[in-house]
Amino acid sequence: MAAMIAHAPILIIAIPLVAAFLTPLVGMASKRARNALVVVSLLFVAFLVFALARDVVTNGIRVYTLGAASPEQTIPTGFIMPVRIILEIDGMSIFMGLIITTVALASLIYSLHFLKGQTGQARFYSLMMLLYAGMMGLAFTGDMFNLFVFLEIASIAGAGLAAYRANMADAVEGGFKYIVVSTIAGLMVLFAVGILYAQYNVLSIAALAHYMQHTLLDIIALGLLGSVFVIKLAAVPLHMWAPDTYTVAPAGVTPMIYTSSAASMYALYRVSFTLYGSTIDTTTLGRVVIALGVLSMFVGVMMAVHQTDIKRLMAYHAISQSGYMLLGVGVGLAVLADPVALANYGRNAINGGIFHMINNALYKGMLFLTAEAIFFRIGTRDLNRMGGLGHKMKCTAGFFIIGALAISGIPPFNGFASKLLIYETVFKFNPVLSVIAMFVSLVTLASFTKVFYSTFTGPEIPAYKEVREVPKSMIIGMGILAACIIFFSIFPGVVMDTIVAPATEALIDQASYISAVMGGVP
Amino acid sequence: MSVLAYGYAVWAPLIWIVVLVVIGVMVLIWRNRGQKSYKKGTAQTDIFLSGVRVPPEGQRHVKSENIYWGFFEALKRLYSGMMKPHTGIVNDYILWLVAVLAIAILILAVSG
């Protein structure tokens, strides 16, 4: 077991990568064997992620150096800086790993029945595993170049999946927009990495943070990286691609692409806190992040409530919810250099933002799945053509209610716990921001009331008399996320102590991240 | 385990759940004590809409586009401003990226 934990960082990335390439081959022999392969590999990887999470929470940061005599040997003998590929897993990385794995499991199980009878399933599962590997790599990587590589893997797989329903013109358009935006974003990351490498001759995040001089070139690299991650996480005003892509992606894929946006948010935090933390003016950077957060919350929700396409509406809500996370973490970043304010409310503001990340991945993922369940049965996303579905799709309606109440921040659901934390801490920073956040929650509730009324209530519509509840695998997929939401709602203290607080601590504690790789190097 | 302490506030969802369950039970008891002598399928259970003729079943549902009509009407100018940048053209998305990049670098360089 100890050996497995020691090699878990690389296994978590390698297993889905290998499974991705084996899937089409196994699929040629048997479709059931192919499905079993992806499910079993993901279950095994999930076991490794949970075991690694326990290890990181108990023993602290774990590093894994590829090609070294021992995985812990980050700097080769005779060298003064790291030259090998290093995976570095701290509280924040594993927190992201847990989000990605939970959503991936639910999405995969949901997709099993959803795809029945459709062509190109081998490619679908292959891309799904590639997307998972890309996101996990992004969360675990300890160097900037591999951050670019994994970002590219996730982007290419995500675009392929978004355009999976190639018979629908808007799906191809959604996939095309995603790949254009992602490719330009990827090139900008590569350019930024080049700037940093040209100055410091290292690619390791810890080593770069150690040697960072705060030159004008560093600021340009930060601008490039920040803008790229902002467009990838779909914050206003760089959010426009998200509704176009989320809306058309098939069931199971939308929560995954949305989670890859959360992974980009993780990358933004990693760069802001860990790479640049002590060398830049975090107050200004924090204020920029807050401004993006407020814009995203407000514009996202106002655009959402106006939509009549159920998935487009949810896509705008995804943008709006990202705003809460940016707001919470932005406040923490803005007071990072002020120990008193950080202790008073900054740390809890980051806790709120981070807690909201996992809450949102769960209920937003589930809401996307309920929207696709409706589309699966009635073949339209147009709310104007829906009604009375609650008579036949009782489970889906139940899951929708749980998700809608959670996203609107209604107690006792988990969305309330993280939003309350954000309201209270942000209020201490600036009361106006807190009022805006509460207003956005109110409009969110109004928006989901509209969806619930339009979709599930009212008399049965004659055209949908034959509609039935969705198949079991789809219910299990939604059920996994619903169960997590209920657990997180009842036990917010456990979640906070075991995964959220260590993630916040990892973000704030730049010195530990650096010393895990650099050791005593001056 | 269930309590989330912020340092200046406490969130205890179990208390909320207990209160909600108690309220739910009270509502059920109250409902069961209600009038039971009405006759189903007669005018007693028909929908009453202030004397206006009730539309047939298939036409009763208010369409999604009509919900919150007053809200959108009042905020027409805000919405027209917000819709304008949402052109759906990928070239425009990239232009926005370039603009944000330039502003971000400027702010970071000026603030030092």
Task: For residue A233, tell me if it sits in a domain.
Answer: no
A390: which DSSP letter? G
Report the pLDDT averaged over residues A68-92. 91
Shortest alpha-carbon distance between residue B76 and chain A (Å): 11
Give tens-digit pLDDT for B8-18: 678 899 999 99
| pLDDT at position B7 over 70 | no
pLDDT score recorded for residue A283: 93
Give me the interface pTM, i.e. the ipTM. Answer: 0.92
Number of domains in chain A: 1
Query: Is the confidence at residue A281, as pLDDT, over 80?
Result: yes
Q: Please check whether residue A314 lies inside any domain of the structure.
A: yes
Encode pLDDT of A396-452 as tens digits.
999 999 999 999 999 999 999 999 999 999 999 999 999 999 999 999 999 999 999
% of chain B beyond a pLDDT of 90: 55
Instruction: List the single residue in B6, B14, B68 with the smallest CB-CB distance to A424.
Output: B6
- Cβ pair A508, A350 in contact under 8 A: yes
Amino acid B48: pLDDT: 83
Q: Is residue A360 part of a domain?
A: yes
The stretches of chain B forming alpha helices (DSSP H) are 13-32, 69-74, 76-83, 90-111
Q: CA-nearest residue of chain A to B107?
A: A284
Residue range(s) defining the domain that contains residue A429: 281-490
What are residue A143's phi and psi, to 5 degrees? -135, 155
Q: Is residue A59 part of a domain?
A: no
**pLDDT of residue A260 exceeding 70:** yes
Interface test with chain A among B20, B21, B22, B64, by most A beta carbons within 10 Å: B64
Residue A238 sits at the chain B interface (C-beta within 8 Å): yes
Asked whether residue A132 is assigned to any structural domain, the reply reads no
- Does residue A472 sit within a domain? yes
**Cβ A238–B63 below 8 Å, yes or no?**
no
Tell me the per-residue pLDDT of A36-54, one tens digit each, with 9 for 90 and over.
999 999 999 999 999 999 9
Report the residue of chain B nearest A281, measured CA to CA.
Answer: B112
Q: Using 50, 70 and 90 to split pLDDT, how confident is the model at A522?
A: low
Half-sphere exposure of A410 (CA within 13 A, CB side): 18
Indicate the residue of A180, A238, A303 with minimum beta-carbon distance to B82.
A303
Question: Is A493 an 8 Å CB contact of chain B?
Answer: yes
Over chain A, what is the mean pLDDT? 94
pTM (two decimals): 0.94
Residue type, A177: K
Residues B72, A306: C-beta atoms closer than 8 Å? yes
Please provide the DSSP assignment of A244-301 as one string. Answer: HHHHHSPTTHHHHHHHHHHHHHHHHHIIIIIISTTTS-HHHHHHHHHHHHHHHHHHHH
Q: Are A486 and A402 in contact (CB under 8 A)?
A: yes
CA atoms within 13 A on the CB side of B44: 8
Contact A226 B67 (CB under 8 A): no
CA distances from A228 to A219, A235, A255, A472, B19 (A): 14, 11, 21, 39, 46
What's the rounded Cα separation, in Å, for the pair A310 and A113? 22
For residue A320, being part of any structural domain is answered with: yes
Q: Identify from A191, A214, A219, A425 which residue to disrupt to test chain B contact, counting B C-beta atoms within 10 A and taking the largest count.
A: A219
Domain contains A219:
no
Distance CA A470, CA A475 (A): 7
